[in-house]
């Protein structure tokens, strides 16, 4: 569900250029609405720095046969704006804009002086709830949970950076029939010792054993159902067990979140909305949304062409749909957010479409957004219990650190440090810390660099590649800038007070840096951290071609210091951008 991406360039470097050209259109052709006029970064340097192709779009409306004529009139009306070095009409009527070095330098200074590094504070005074990660209790997190956690957290960070008041809510799956099976399994399939020091792994084992028994043994199945009924009725003993299971689960999830730098404002799981479900149903009934069918209450979506949704089962129980509707009511009451964003895998799309429609029919004005993501496969194989590659998240993260440690130690050895063999000597705390930063960053970036809507194939080689579009590549680019600035400082050089954009490579990099704020905004508007990841990768590539073409430390002092200033801003933008993806930026690798 991508909302319209309007006026993106308002806050980009092209913003003032866009308002100038819009003004010129209005002067040349009074009485028309030119709100749709856009200025975009030029697709090719030979077209200048920015381009506006809208003369063609308005040909019909303005009744001018040749769009070049429109462009000519627009430029004549616009006069000579301060940013322009050259204004040109090309092809059928494209307006190509080349900006001056002085203008770019002034824009860069404004960016560097901005506490938000050019990220527009469009979210000030606006609240959003982001519902993400949301694993099911009593199960270990596995590789399948990484996407909701990592994508959701990046969206969370991006919205906060835009000034939004974000409530990160973990909608744990902590209620349902599985707890009857689990309580029975806990009592009878675990040893006293396992019960005493119960971990999530033990809970999972108890559940699996009990569910298997229930399949073959009717009496066992009945006993599970009884445990569930007792829990639902508020039986003290079962209630206490359930609470303990949820606590154990959250503690384990938080261990993973700490590694991933993820934190939630609230953990309101499904159970939190239990008592609110009858009221949610009553509201649906009062609004005439439900009808009876085979003893159940259902909602139809004929107009929308969707299958029916059950909102009360024939046994009187509620389900996931009712729970999510009660949840919206509760969030609206407690937080009054302007939107609620849900990050789940794309198999839940129907559920979200249905319950969003119900909320609309109930008259909720809060904007509801589902960000569905594709499944992750591992080295070309689907991830499933059957494939035997249902890797636990904990194991995945541990392996990330182990593999990164090899890289870190390999580099240390190459530069004359200690031996690379992991057996030879234990890693130092610094190496271990660095390996975590690289390893976790690599895992996150491998996910975030893909459009959430697409499936991702994870491979260690791609994730940890030091060349190419990877987390380590970007972290390494950052560390290199830091070491360049350190070297300069050691030689008594420091970034100039003012920017000076002289060469083509400098200009390319500068214009790219000026797009940072607009890019962050666009990533939020389409709920795709990948937009930011792509931008950072391109920026690092532009930096690297600038750096190859333009000596810094060996240049004469004035040039050197101006270049250092640009390098330093690149470092700031890269570090800020990576932090919005939840990726740390060590200064030395
Ligand atoms: N617990 C669910 C799952 O593991 C995700 C919950 C998403 N949030 C929601 N409000 N339905 O698939």
Q: Are residues 418 and 528 in the same domain?
A: yes
The Cα 434–Cα 585 span in angstroms is 10
- Locate tokens 């005439």: which residue? 288
Whether 149 lines ligand 1, by a CB cut-off of 6 Å, is no
User: Looking at residue 321, which CATH number applies to its domain?
Assistant: 3.40.50.620
- Is the residue at 393 inside a domain? no
Percent of the chain with pLDDT over 70: 95
Would residue 401 count as lying in a domain? no
State the average pLDDT over residues 246-275. 96
User: Are residues 150 and 195 located together in one domain of the fold?
Assistant: no
Q: Is 173 in the pocket of ligand 1 (CB under 6 A)?
A: yes
367 and 229, same domain (yes or no): no
pLDDT at 2: 35
Does ligand 1 come within 6 angstroms of the Cβ of 134?
yes
- Of 171, 270, 349, the one to substitute when testing ligand 1's pocket (max ligand atoms within 8 A of C-beta) is 171
Tell me the CATH number at 35. Answer: 3.30.1360.70
Residue 396 domain-assigned (yes or no): no
DSSP helix/strand/coil, 500 = coil
Residue 176 CB–ligand 1 contact under 6 Å: no
Confidence of residue 323 (pLDDT cuts 50, 70, 90): very high
pLDDT tens for 459-468 read: 999 999 999 9
Residue 204 in any domain: the answer is yes
User: Is it the case that residue 105 has pLDDT exceeding 70?
Assistant: yes
**How many Å lie between the centroid of ligand 1 and the Cα of residue 171?**
6
Residues 506 and 532 reside in one and the same domain: yes
Domain that holds residue 182: 178-260
pLDDT digits (tens, 9 = 90+) for 124-169: 999 999 999 999 999 999 887 899 999 999 999 999 999 999 999 9
Q: Tell me whether residue 209 is in a domain.
A: yes
What's the total number of domains in the chain?
4
For residue 417, pLDDT over 90 is answered with no
pLDDT of residue 103: 95
Structure tokens at 202: 């033990």
> Of the candidates 260, 291, 306, which is a domain's last residue?
260
Residue at 271 is within a domain: yes
Percentage of residues of the chain with pLDDT beyond 90: 86
The reply to whether 184 and 168 lie within a common domain is no
What does the pLDDT look like over 23-63, one tens digit per residue? Answer: 999 999 999 999 999 999 888 888 899 999 999 999 999 99
pTM score, whole prediction: 0.93
Same domain, 278 and 424: no
Q: Are 572 and 481 in contact (CB under 8 A)?
A: no
> Ligand 1 centre from 202 Cα, in Å?
23
Query: Can you say how many angstroms the Cα of residue 567 is from the centroid of all Cα atoms in its chain?
Result: 27
In a domain, 400, yes or no: no
Judge contact between 412 and 418, C-beta under 8 A: yes
Nearest CA to ligand 1 atom 4: 135
| Cα separation, 352 vs 153, whole angstroms | 20
324 touches ligand 1 (CB under 6 Å): yes
């Amino acid at each position: 569900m991508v909302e319209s991406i309007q006026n993106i360039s308002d806050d980009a470097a092209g913003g003032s250029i866009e308002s100038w050209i819009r003004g010129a259109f209005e002067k040349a052709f009074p009485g028309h609405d030119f709100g749709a006029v856009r200025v975009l970064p030029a697709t090719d340097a030979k077209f200048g720095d920015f381009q506006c192709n809208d003369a063609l779009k308005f040909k019909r409306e303005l009744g001018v046969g040749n769009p070049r004529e429109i462009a000519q009139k627009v430029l004549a009306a616009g006069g000579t704006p301060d940013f322009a070095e050259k204004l040109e009409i090309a092809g059928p009527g494209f307006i190509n804009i080349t900006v001056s070095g002085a203008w770019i330098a002034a824009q860069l200074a404004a960016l560097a002086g901005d506490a938000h590094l050019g990220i527009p504070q469009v979210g000030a005074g606006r609240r959003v709830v982001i519902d993400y990660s949301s694993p099911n209790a009593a199960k270990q997190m596995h590789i399948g949970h990484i996407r909701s956690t990592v994508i959701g957290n990046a969206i969370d960070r991006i919205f906060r950076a835009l000034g939004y008041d974000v409530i990160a809510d973990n909608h744990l799956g902590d209620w349902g029939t599985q707890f009857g099976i689990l309580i029975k399994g806990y009592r009878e399939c675990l040893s006293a010792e396992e019960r005493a020091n119960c971990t999530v792994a033990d809970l999972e084992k108890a559940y699996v054993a009990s569910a298997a028994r229930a399949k073959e043994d009717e009496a066992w199945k009945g006993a599970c159902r009884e445990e569930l009924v007792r829990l639902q009725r508020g039986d003290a003993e079962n209630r206490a067990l359930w609470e303990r299971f949820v606590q154990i689960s959250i503690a384990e999830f938080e261990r993973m979140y700490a590694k991933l730098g993820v934190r939630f404002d609230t953990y309101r799981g499904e159970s939190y909305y239990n008592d609110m479900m009858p009221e949610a149903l009553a509201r649906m009934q009062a609004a005439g949304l439900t009808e009876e069918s085979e003893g159940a209450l259902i909602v139809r979506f004929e107009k929308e062409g969707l299958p029916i949704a059950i909102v009360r089962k024939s046994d009187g129980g509620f389900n996931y749909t009712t729970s999510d509707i009660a949840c919206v009511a509760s969030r609206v009451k407690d937080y009054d957010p302007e939107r609620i964003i849900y990050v789940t895998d794309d198999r839940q799309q129907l559920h979200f479409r249905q319950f969003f429609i119900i909320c609309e029919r109930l008259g909720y004005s809060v904007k509801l957004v589902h960000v569905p993501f594709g499944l992750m496969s591992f080295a070309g194989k689907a991830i499933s219990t059957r494939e035997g590659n249902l890797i636990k998240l904990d194991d995945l993260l541990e392996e990330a650190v182990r593999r990164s440690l090899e890289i870190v130690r390999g580099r240390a050895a190459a530069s004359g440090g200690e031996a690379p063999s992991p057996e030879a000597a234990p890693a130092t705390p610094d190496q271990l810390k660095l390996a975590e930063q690289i390893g976790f960053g690599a895992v996150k970036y491998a996910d975030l660099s893909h459009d959430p809507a697409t499936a991702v194939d994870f491979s260690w080689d791609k994730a940890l590649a030091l060349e190419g579009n990877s987390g380590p590549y970007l972290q390494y680019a950052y560390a290199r800038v830091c070491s360049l600035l350190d070297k300069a400082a050691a030689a008594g050089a420091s970034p100039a007070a003012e920017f000076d954009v002289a060469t083509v490579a400098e200009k390319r990099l500068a214009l790219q840096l000026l797009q940072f704020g607009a890019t962050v905004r666009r990533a939020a508007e389409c709920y795709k951290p990948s937009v930011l990841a792509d931008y950072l990768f391109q920026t690092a590539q532009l930096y690297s071609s600038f750096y190859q073409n333009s000596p810094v430390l060996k240049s004469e002092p004035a040039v050197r210091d101006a270049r250092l200033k640009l390098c330093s801003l690149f470092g700031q933008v890269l570090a800020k951008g990576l932090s919005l993806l939840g990726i740390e930026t060590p200064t030395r690798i």
